[in-house]
Amino acid sequence: MSADALSRLVTTLTISPAFDPQGQPRKPGALCIGAQKAGTSWLAQMLGQHPQVWIPPFKEVQYFNHLHIPEHRRWIAWHYRNKPQEIRDRHKARKVKLQPELDAYLTAITSGKMFHNQWYKRVFAPRPNTRCRWISPGIFRPAGRGVQAVRDLLPKARVIYLIRHPVDRAISQLRMNLRREKRVPVTEADWLAEVANPVLDERGDYAAYLPRWLRRYPDMLVLPFGRIARAPHRVMDAVEAHLGLGPASTPT
């Protein structure tokens, strides 16, 4: 995405009519799940520009991961401690004024007790001032009982699952991990140790994950990553139809 497109996205987040500071706690109407490095950020960016959609600035709310994957809790706590300032710094760097209501929202969501049912609903309190369905993707990968917990809390949610070729996905994730951690493998043994990381395979194990989600959400929309590059407009048409949204240019 170009710098201009990113700037427009931040501006949309700041002044979007889909942000209602008086909104009441409620459950999300739609969820985006799926493999890391499979297009979830792209989808969040596209939906975030839709006038009928509210995307939390955290994108990855991580509520179910926190509850059902204990080893993720330390990272998730770090994520929420740092994300508000990251958002503020991003606005400042792009010379886009941060809406005071959005700033207050960031503070409220990251203060006090977190990761309980009412907190999760408060994350999604801002909503469109329209009669259209309120939609908000969240991204998480709970397994086993975690998937059932999602279904129990959100039985009517519209679900989108993004997938990508397991090898391509693993390579992309490995590159991201090395970049984030500022590591540069040198020897063949170093590279073999990186490739042996079980997370690279586990997050692309659709044979294990897809059936769990399809049992709970049989009408789930599954989107291969390759379609985004080939025909992004058709992907968004399918997403809007699945979520019951009008085209992004349609007045509300």
User: If you average pLDDT over residues 169-185, what whole number do you get?
Assistant: 89
Tell me whether residue 38 is in a domain: yes
Q: Are 138 and 145 in contact (CB under 8 A)?
A: no
Largest CA distance in the chain: 59
The owner of tokens 């109407």 is 29
Tell me whether residue 217 is in a domain: yes
pLDDT at 233: 93
Residue 71 lies in domain: 3-164+204-243
DSSP character at residue 133? P
Measured in degrees and rounded to the nearest 5, phi and psi for residue 222 equal -105, 125
Of 90-99, 189-198, 202-211, 231-240, give the range with the top mean pLDDT.
Answer: 231-240
Tell me whether residue 194 is in a domain: no
Structure tokens at 221: 């929309």
pLDDT at 2: 38
For the chain, give the mean pLDDT: 81
Tell me whether residue 135 is in a domain: yes
Structure tokens at 16: 């979007």
Domain total of the chain: 1
Helix (H, G, I), strand (E, B) or coil at 230: helix
Q: What does the pLDDT look like over 100-141, one tens digit per residue? A: 888 899 999 998 899 999 999 998 888 654 434 445 445 556
- Which domain CATH number covers 27? 3.40.50
Tell me whether residue 251 is in a domain: no
Question: If pLDDT is split at 50, 70 and 90, which confidence band does 142 have?
Answer: low
Tell me whether residue 213 is in a domain: yes
Tell me whether residue 33 is in a domain: yes
Closest Cα partner for 144 from 211, 204, 212, 201?
Answer: 212
Q: Which helix (H) or strand (E) holds 32?
A: strand 30-34
CA distance 246 to 109: 30
Tell me whether residue 195 is in a domain: no
Q: Give the CA angle between residues 157, 102, 33 to the nearest 5°.
A: 25
Q: What does the pLDDT look like over 25-71, one tens digit per residue? A: 888 888 888 788 888 888 888 888 887 887 888 777 888 888 888 88
Q: How many CB atoms lie within 10 A of CB 92?
A: 11
Q: What is the pTM of this model?
A: 0.80
